Amino acid sequence: MKELLDLYFTFFRIGAVTFGGGYAMLPILQREVVDKKHWATEEELMDYYAIGQCTPGVIAVNTATFIGRKYRGILGGILTTLGVVSPSIIIISIIAAVINNFASIAWVQNALGGIRVCVCVFIFNSVVKLFKSAVKDKAALVIYLALFAVAVFFDFSPIYSVVVAGVLGVFFTKTGVRGK
């Protein structure tokens, strides 16, 4: 029971301090789930993010569900999901009740603009960490650069990106390019 409560409250805290969506949650997940709790490895977390990106639903919720399910089964998945969404439900309910009273205030708009910039920094730091752990050979670098170019210059579905990356990973491994 203690482990289940720990799952719920860990993801409640993560959900309470994450602003800017699932990608902004990545550094917090890395610290809490990988470094502190050891509920997942960094590679597993990247896999969960990739799968969460190409499955229906919110990335943060999908990732929380994967981690909870892996660590404590179905009940763990349910509790991590509830934990990560509970703060949002509470906060959004409060904001929805009062937003019209404050949305036009300049300092509120400026504060939100500053928070958005901060979230960009968090996302960038996560990308750098993920890049260092994921791009370890020439084949991975080729996959990264190709998909990065496609993402920047074309409207290419994340689902297709994940499928193409998987196919290229298998191809490079089969042809002996991977690992060089």
pLDDT at 21: 66
With contact defined as beta carbons under 8 Å apart, do 83 and 11 qualify? Answer: yes
State how far the Cα of 160 lies from the Cα of 173, in Å rounded to an integer.
20
Q: Note whether 28 and 107 are same-domain residues.
A: yes
Number of independent structural domains in the chain: 2
- Cα end-to-end span (Å), the chain: 47
Looking at the fold, whether 86 and 62 belong to one and the same domain comes out as yes
Domain range for 81: 2-134
161 and 112, same structural domain?
no
Record the pTM. Answer: 0.60
Residue range 48-102, pLDDT digits in tens: 888 887 777 777 888 889 999 998 999 999 999 999 999 989 988 998 888 778 8
**Statement to judge: residues 84 and 159 lie in one domain:** no
Residues 11 and 34 in one domain: yes
pLDDT in tens, 105-164: 888 889 888 888 988 888 888 888 888 888 888 888 999 999 999 989 998 888 888 889
Q: Between helices 42-53 and 22-29, what is the axis angle to 10°?
A: 170
> Are residue 143 and residue 127 in the same domain, yes or no?
no
On whether the CB atoms of residues 130 and 46 are closer than 8 A, the answer is yes
Shared domain check, 100 and 19: yes
